Structure 1
Amino acid sequence: MLNSTFKLSPILLAVAAQLAMSANATAIEGITAADKLALKSRTVYFDRDYEKRSSNDSTLAQGLELNYQSGEISDFFTVGASFYGVANIKSSGSAGGNILPSGSHAGDVRGGFGKVGQAYIGLSLVEDSNITLGYQKTKTMLLASSGSRAIPSTFRGITGNYQWQSFKVYGYVFDEWSRRGDDEWESFETVNGDDIDYVWGFGTTFKQGKWQADAEYLNSDNYLAKYGIRGSYSDKLAGGKIKLSAGIFFSEDDGSAFKAGSDKNLDNIDSNDGQVYYLDANWNYQMLTFGVAFAQVDEIWIEDNFAGDHGTNPLPTRAPIGPDLTNAEETIWQGRVGFDFAGIVDGLTINMTYTEGKDAENAKLGAAGGTADEDYWAIDTRYNVAAVKGLKLRWLYADYNSDETGSVGGVKDDEKDHRVYVDYSYKF
């Protein structure tokens, strides 16, 4: 494990300056021929009702993204930038820090904010490879930019990937991030305030015919290590298509920053050797999709990679809103049914999920410290409006309930959520 403090900004600035001078010296040609400029508007409405009514909140906000991506410059690099803005339309209750930053009074929100969300250089030094340096979105099995608010979260660092036949390998290192509901760029840290100098990782994906597999290792410096593998097989069955999947994931304490209170959902544990595995089957027939999944947790598997991170959960049993369902000793079952109304109402899909977690225990003391059961219903309705290019509508509803004796940190109070998204994208 690396121990030295590593900050990326001087490296990025030096590389950017060198590339800019190189481009100027060769009198860049065709910089606008393949450029892409797109505007994305997202109107978002959240309404959350809790068992503790004083915690209820609602927010109606408007998000905007202006995304620019250049064509290839001098045959080996590109540049890109994104500008994000969010404006509050109407908020009530304890909505601070959710879609918008907290305001000057308890529970309220700021009127809005704007920021540079992405600013990066992409390098293609070798065929079938890419390196991206700067402020950027990311998406891997264990770390991804959240897209559930008005704008996405983004990271500062270096990412790279290389494709070789059916294999793709990738890696990343980040030293700062900007949350999905704030305009600040900040270093990583634990809930206790201990520094995490950088988050890094590497992985591989494999796709060939009916088979697919992913493996990844992630390290939050001096705090947490996570790794896992999953695979799937797809084939035809009874006039439809079936997909069988399985995976296993681990989390481990990895330094002095991991201690009691470093994550508010961990029952004050000061060490971790977490494990969870899952099995999943999904069958699609004409307009219908049926699915069932099972997951079993040993010692608690930690979803959040640092404070404020709402985690990238690779399990099919994950909740779309709310708790992780990865508590110590928890057994999880899920049933799903989906409808695709293509040919009736093109672009309309409805997916319904019921998930139940049983026999969760306090992560530190076991059943003596607390036990809990939890479950949720979720309905996800999406409509890509064929009559208006670029317009997408979504309504997500979740109803979460728990029954807790003693204390199990990852289990929450009962909660009902409505989330509505109106997305419109326009490419210039």
Structure 2
Amino acid sequence: MLKTPIARGVALATLGATLAIPTMAQAAFIEDTKAGLELRNFYFNRDYRNDGGNTASTARGQSKSEAWAQGFLLRVESGYTEGTVGFGLDALGLLGVKLDSGAGRTGSGLLPGAYDNPTPDDYSSVGFAAKAKVSDTVLKIGTLQFKNQAIGTSDSRLLPQTMQGAHIVSKEIAGLTLDAGYANRINHRDSSNNEVMTLNGASGRTATNPNPFNTRGIVMDAGAANESDEFVFLGGNYKLTDSLTAGYYYSNLEDLYKQHSYNLVHVLPLGDQQSLKTDVRYARSKDDGSSNVDNKAFGAMVTYSLSGHAFGLGYQKMSGDTGFAYVGGATDPFLVNYVQINDFANADEKSWQARYDFNFASIGIPGLTFMTRYITGDNFERANGTEGKEWERDMDIGYTFQEGALKNLNVKWRNATARNNYGNDIDENRLIVSYTIPLM
């Protein structure tokens, strides 16, 4: 880290943290401050291969979604003031700049813009989070990113998704992490606006269509709006033994759904550079007054690792009256078969996954990684009453330069093919080049 007076001055000016902080209390606040600027260049191409193009009502007939953009992500995390209660401030500055896109090619998730409307040349947002620390407990209030069994804000496009609210994490007991949070607004990854939250995949009833159909099976009650301004969660993970971790979370998107999520992860060493990892997940979701949510989601992933190789086999099953419920707008659901394009979480759907990873460091090429997987799902209902089927094949190749002028520059190519008998057939490519400049 660079801790020059100039870098310190930039970070302090960004945080505005010198106000009302006594001189002696600033030492740890300043010395422990970290700042970095990530440069993320992203090309996205999604080709709709089905006859007639994109089936979505908001982009009917669109042949492809395509964009190329440059992202700038400034992250500043201050240290804490001295004393029993330490105070600090974090900052997140986001800027997305269009390099190429336009009307008729929207929907990439990289840039704002509705179908057949021009995309803006740039978009940006700045968020702050005040924080306080007592012992091993930290409270943050402001602009936040969550990653747990209840909610995962997405960072799979040009800029990350964020939420407005509060978050407390406690690690006072060895092996136990307790986690609670609240959010009232969400800023999607292709937006600069904080908005109310929605239920993913839900259809609304109208006078002309009182009983709408979707493969998720989630429908709003008559007259109810698919929106909420309160999401809460509470839970944690406990390391029962060196090889076994258990987790539980309760979450509630007010008026839309409530959910109990359970997780067990076991890692069994099998010898030199060998292990068997088992990841079991179960969630029970029900409505919260304005929807028909009723879902049981079971998933398991078993991965055998040998030196640089990893072989995985996964199974996921939906049961109940509807598919899986989670916060809409491209948040990341906690499902073993949530992959690049699909989540395989339609009502009553059963799906299997086969996955292979290889880390080339095991043969003397550090920084180079490869992943491929195939997922197939069926047993859900289509609009005409017949059985729905779908499959997806993904491939990732990534390389991080280890030395020289390009050291720590990361290049990744993500390729996916998805086919089904109820909606869009998709061929997709993503090329991502990223580099983080440490400022402090």
TM bin, normalised by shorter chain, reads 0.7 to 0.9
Q: Which of 302, 314, 327 in structure 1 is aligned with 2:346?
A: 327
Shift of 1:27: 6.6
* Partner residue in 2 for 1:418: 429
2: distance between equivalents of 1:100 and 1:21?
36
TM-score by length of 2: 0.81
In structure 2, relative to structure 1, the CA distance for the partners of 1:175 and 1:231 (3 Å cut) is same
- Residue 375 of structure 2 is aligned to residue 352 of structure 1: no
8 Å Cα contact 2:96-2:124 kept in structure 1: yes
Shift of 1:325: 0.4
Runs (4+) of structure 1 exceeding 3 A deviation are 19-22, 24-31, 189-195
8 Å Cα contact 1:278-1:315 kept in structure 2: yes
* Partner residue in 1 for 2:327: 305
Shift of 1:42: 0.3
Q: Which of 377, 381, 385 in structure 1 is aligned with 2:401?
A: 385
TM-superposition CA deviations, 1:157-201 (whole Å, max 9, x none): 110011111111110001112111111122224575444121111
* Partner residue in 2 for 1:317: 337
8 Å Cα contact 1:288-1:338 kept in structure 2: yes
* Partner residue in 2 for 1:43: 41
Identity of counterpart residues, as a percentage?
21
1: distance between equivalents of 2:107 and 2:356?
35
The count of aligned residue pairs is 382
Q: Which has the higher contact order (CA 8 A, sep 6+)?
A: 2
8 Å Cα contact 1:77-1:122 kept in structure 2: yes
* Partner residue in 2 for 1:376: 392
Shift of 1:403: 2.2
8 Å Cα contact 1:205-1:214 kept in structure 2: yes
- Residue 403 of structure 2 is aligned to residue 403 of structure 1: no
Question: CA RMSD of the aligned region, Å?
Answer: 2.4
Shift of 1:250: 1.7
8 Å Cα contact 1:381-1:395 kept in structure 2: yes
Answer 1 or 2: which has greater strand percent.
1
8 Å Cα contact 1:303-1:324 kept in structure 2: no
Q: Which of 273, 283, 290 in structure 1 is aligned with 2:311?
A: 290
SS at match of 2:385: strand
- Residue 238 of structure 2 is aligned to residue 206 of structure 1: yes
TM-superposition CA deviations, 1:22-57 (whole Å, max 9, x none): 635977445422221210010001000012443312
- More off after superposition, 386-395 vs 64-73: 386-395
1: distance between equivalents of 2:92 and 2:432?
20
* Partner residue in 1 for 2:177: 168
* Partner residue in 1 for 2:256: 223
1: distance between equivalents of 2:336 and 2:198?
28
TM-superposition CA deviations, 1:231-263 (whole Å, max 9, x none): 02111226411112212112211123x2xxxxx
* Partner residue in 1 for 2:297: 276
In structure 2, relative to structure 1, the CA distance for the partners of 1:144 and 1:399 (3 Å cut) is same
* Partner residue in 2 for 1:254: 288
- More off after superposition, 42-51 vs 228-237: 228-237
In structure 2, relative to structure 1, the CA distance for the partners of 1:25 and 1:385 (3 Å cut) is closer
2: distance between equivalents of 1:315 and 1:27?
44
Shift of 1:294: 1.1
1: distance between equivalents of 2:389 and 2:244?
35
SS at match of 2:30: coil
2: distance between equivalents of 1:238 and 1:124?
41
Shift of 1:94: 2.6
2: distance between equivalents of 1:339 and 1:21?
50
Shift of 1:421: 0.8
SS at match of 1:242: strand
8 Å Cα contact 2:43-2:431 kept in structure 1: yes
* Partner residue in 1 for 2:120: 110
- Residue 58 of structure 2 is aligned to residue 56 of structure 1: no
2: distance between equivalents of 1:162 and 1:277?
28
Shift of 1:350: 0.5
SS at match of 1:78: strand
8 Å Cα contact 1:142-1:312 kept in structure 2: no
In structure 2, relative to structure 1, the CA distance for the partners of 1:108 and 1:26 (3 Å cut) is same
2: distance between equivalents of 1:209 and 1:57?
46
1:115-134 to 2 correspondences below 5 Å: 115-116=125-126, 118-125=127-134, 127-134=135-142
* Partner residue in 2 for 1:241: 275
* Partner residue in 1 for 2:57: none
8 Å Cα contact 1:287-1:340 kept in structure 2: yes
TM-score by length of 1: 0.83
8 Å Cα contact 1:143-1:311 kept in structure 2: yes
2: distance between equivalents of 1:348 and 1:83?
30
8 Å Cα contact 1:224-1:305 kept in structure 2: no
